[in-house]
Chains A and B, each alone.
Chain A
Amino acid sequence: MTFKRIIIASSLALSIAAAAFAEEPKNASVTSAVATAATATTTTSPATISGAETKFETPAAVTTPAPAKKRELKANKAITLTMFALIIGITMSVVVWAARQTKSAADFYAAGGGITGTQNGWAIAGDYMSAASFLGISGLISLYGYDGFMYSVGWLVAYITVLLIVAEPCRNAGKYTLGDILSFRTDPKPVRAVAAISTVAVSTFYLTAQMVGAGKLMALLIGVPYKTAIVGVGILMVGYVVFGGMTATTWVQIIKAGLLMSGATLLSVLVLAKAGFNPIAFFDSIVNSLEIQDHVSKLALKDGVTLNGIEAGQRFLEPGLFLKKPLDQISLGMALVLGTAGMPHILMRFFTVPTAQAARKSVIIAMFIIGGFYVLTTLLGFGAAVNLTPQGIMQVDKGGNMATLILAQQLGADIAPIFGDLFLAFLCSVAFATILAVVSGLVLAASAAIAHDIYVNVIKDGHADQHEQVKAARITSLVVGIVGIVIGLMAEKANVAHLVALAFAVAASGNLPVVVLSLFWRKFNTGGVIGGIVVGTIASIGLVMVSPNMTYPKVVAEGAEKIIVAMETKQAALPAGAQLDENDAKALAKAKVDVLGKDGTSMMGLTKPLFKLKNPGIISIPLGFIAAILGTLMFPNRRAEEMFDEIYVRQNTGIGMAKAIDH
């Protein structure tokens, strides 16, 4: 016990020290280079493709009237670090408390089944809403209006699938992991092995995106170097999971969800107060904003449409400024609606409550929190567009990720300057807590798959006592956490924007079909599970590898050529002796480098994408289902059919599960 405390205390001290001794950033104002990188936190924002599309905007941006002062986002370091330390302190004391209660495997993976429905609802919300939801979606709304709002809808609707199809059956038929549900009436070893692989794949993709996003965000917000931020976040994440298991992770998620909701509510009230609490007037102010009109008319011009004045303002409330490929949207929608219910870290949350009724209640509470949050996000996004102007937001970050934070600083400062600093610091620490909560859930899910499915059930044949199981779980979480940190450190320069969508696609194509079929189809068997997971997972990953998400040097080079031409034309138009401004000169220099890659190919040796969509779901989900069905029919198994009655009665009634707890 003392040893444990020493480690907890030292990891706490280490992470604070890491933050305090952080180097001052070389350039506190956010340059466009950092900004492009930070869009990694926006899950599938097309603005992140470093190819032709983004750069082609540069010539258009030239005509923007030069603002009087470049907008900067600078958090007050002392206040922000104090708040960070407060969050670390509170969560670490939760860990110390949780560590004392974590004695058995059920404690470690499922908090002993002792989480209430309401607590679990908040924890699900905390597990689910990432920094991309918090900063990315409001940013999209602030720059592209309606499309950002439309994008957010799928993230809530996804919970209908969770509520109706998976939550209660999983509570009734499962134990700790996806492998437990799937191996019920199949050959457990191979099934657990593939289930563990897909869980680890989904968690790794998601974790990598979160870690890289975390590093960039921390660098942006408080000027901590990327690597320090990754190590700091990583140490905390490992600390929560290794010592506190599911109990600590749950409370970190609950605390985060509470902070996130209070931050969003407070800021929304300030936005509404600006509009005199009159929604009609609020929307009028959007349409009538001269800056929004100017911004929209430029966006429309790129599609060859001329819009002016109020017409342009109204266009901001209509679809199509950002999401231009309907098929890609539908494909992403499918991955969200089916993938959320196949996410191992979400499924795992249902094992922490004692009954199906509590599982039901927890999804419904989570739906109100998540949905409420996205509705508030609309206010924040539109509020940022009105109060900060899209031009002002883009000066700080091209993808709009900083919109909420600048808005908090400005609206707070309107009351009193110190409020601006305090509010910004508060939202920065909310973002910090958000990252911690999401990554901890992912590490726990991946560790459970490795320790419980692979080690205990495949290698040890299920013969491991409680002490050994908990030890295995702790060691695995430590290893998974360290691997997560290392990947985070290595992926600094990588394009990770597509990884969240990929995680959802794998969950939707690999995991969900087999979960649904094993709960509802009598004939379903080992062949089906393996076929479904393997084909669904490989199809999603394979399609993304040949999709426009990858970098195609030839396509980049073509875009770069256009920029060079545009810049040279512009240079020629300048009076003699005048130079291009800093941004243009940078764009030109970068284009000159990019153009050299015209003979290069992507990772897969392609010159252009084979698959035109960024989101593979529309193809890979049906493939996952077909493979699961074909696998089942090709390898019929009488035992699996005979055992269907058992799993079907169990998942519908909880008989068996409830008794095991009563005795």
Chain B
Amino acid sequence: MAEKQYDWSAIAKNPKFIELHHKKQAFLFGWWIFSTAYYFLLPIGAAYAPGLFKIKIIGVINFGYIFALSQFFVSWGLALYYAHVANKDFDRLTRELIEDLHL
């Protein structure tokens, strides 16, 4: 089963691929930076804004606790959002590209 030869640079110039690549890059790096920044607010906030973390929100449960817990939900939410966008947009564009190329 010899591997099929592809003209990679032609595929790379295909408008569908360029659209896929732009959408993906913007989404992936944009949200990666968001999630990383959101995460580092936790150790930075705990160290330099202890007053904020001490504010009680529900009963004895304080802002710091809710913020740390929110990290889990933000990560899960982002994972689900990514799955939604990837399944809907990225996979569709990939399929269309492959059809275009008659592979």
User: Chain A interface (Cβ within 8 Å of chain B)?
Assistant: 146-147, 149-150, 153-154, 156-157, 159-161, 163-165, 280, 283-284, 286-287, 314, 317-320, 323, 326, 329-330, 333, 337, 357, 360-361, 363-364, 367-368, 371, 374-375, 642-643, 645-646, 648-650, 652-656, 659-660, 663
Contact = CB atoms under 8 A, between A and B. Distances in A.
B83 to A, nearest CB: 6
Given A326-B44, A654-B94, A655-B103, 19 more contacts: A146-B68, A147-B46, A153-B68, A153-B71, A161-B32, A164-B82, A284-B59, A314-B60, A320-B46, A329-B46, A337-B39, A357-B91, A367-B75, A645-B8, A649-B8, A649-B17, A652-B17, A659-B4, A659-B103
Given A319-B46, A320-B50, A660-B3, A154 B39 contact: yes
B20 A653 contact: yes
Given A317-B65, A320-B50, A330 B71 contact: no
Contacts of B3: 656, 659-660
Contact of B11 (A150, A368, A371, A655): A655
B21 A652 contact: yes
Given A146-B64, A653-B94, A364 B39 contact: no
Contact of A283 (B21, B36, B60, B71): B60
Interface string B35-72: 11001101110111010011000111110110011011
Contact of A160 (B4, B54, B78, B83): B78
Interface SS of chain B = helix
Nearest to A324: B47
A149 B64 CA distance: 10
Given A156-B72, A283-B61, A330 B28 contact: no
Given A146-B64, A149-B68, A159-B75, A326 B6 contact: no
B11 A326 contact: no
A319 B50 contact: yes
Contacts of B72: 153, 156, 371, 374-375
A264 to B, nearest CB: 15
28 contacts: A150-B64, A154-B39, A156-B71, A156-B72, A160-B32, A160-B36, A164-B31, A283-B60, A284-B59, A317-B61, A318-B50, A318-B53, A319-B46, A319-B53, A319-B64, A320-B50, A326-B44, A330-B40, A337-B36, A361-B83, A364-B80, A367-B76, A643-B8, A652-B20, A652-B21, A653-B11, A655-B98, A660-B3
Closest 5 CB pairs of A and B: A326-B47, A319-B46, A646-B8, A645-B12, A329-B43
Contact of A318 (B4, B28, B62): B62
Contact of A146 (B12, B65, B71, B87): B65
Nearest to A332: B43
Contacts of B97: 653
Contact of B79 (A160, A333, A659): A160
A114 B16 CA distance: 30
B72 to A, nearest CB: 5
A337 B9 CA distance: 33
B6 to A, nearest CB: 6
Contact of B42 (A153, A159, A280, A656): A153
A150 B21 contact: no
A643 B68 CA distance: 43
Contacts of A159: 75, 79
A659 B94 CA distance: 14
A649 B11 contact: yes
A364 B82 CA distance: 10
Nearest to A647: B8
Given A149-B68, A320-B50, A652-B21, A280 B79 contact: no
A656 to B, nearest CB: 6
Contacts of B54: 314, 318
B64 to A, nearest CB: 6
Nearest to B97: A653
A329 B11 contact: no
A140 B40 CA distance: 20
A333 B40 contact: yes
A121 to B, nearest CB: 11
Nearest to A374: B72
A180 to B, nearest CB: 15
A137 B83 CA distance: 30
A150 B46 contact: yes
A165 B35 contact: no
Nearest to B47: A326
Nearest to A157: B39
Nearest to B12: A645
A371 B75 contact: yes
A369 B3 CA distance: 38
A146 B8 CA distance: 52
Contacts of A659: 3-4, 103
Contact of B82 (A161, A163, A318): A163
A287 B17 CA distance: 57
Given A156-B72, A364-B79, A280 B59 contact: yes
A317 B62 contact: yes
A644 to B, nearest CB: 8
Nearest to A314: B60
A631 B59 CA distance: 56
A333 B12 contact: no
Contacts of A320: 46-47, 50
A215 to B, nearest CB: 32
A163 B80 CA distance: 11
B43 A330 contact: yes
Contacts of A654: 94
A375 B65 CA distance: 12
A284 B24 CA distance: 46
A648 B75 contact: no
- Which of B47, B59, B87, B103 has the most CB atoms of chain A within a 10 A radius of its CB? B47
Given A160-B78, A364-B80, A284 B60 contact: yes
A659 B87 CA distance: 20
A165 B28 contact: yes
Contact of B75 (A156, A323, A653): A156
A361 B83 CA distance: 8
B68 to A, nearest CB: 5
Contact of B35 (A160, A284, A326, A361): A160
Contacts of B69: 375
A296 to B, nearest CB: 13
Interface centre among B17, B79, B97 (most CB of A within 10 A): B79
Nearest to A327: B47
Contacts of A650: 8
A163 B91 contact: no
B75 to A, nearest CB: 6
Given A164-B32, A652-B17, A368 B76 contact: yes
Contacts of B1: 660, 663
Contacts of B94: 652-654
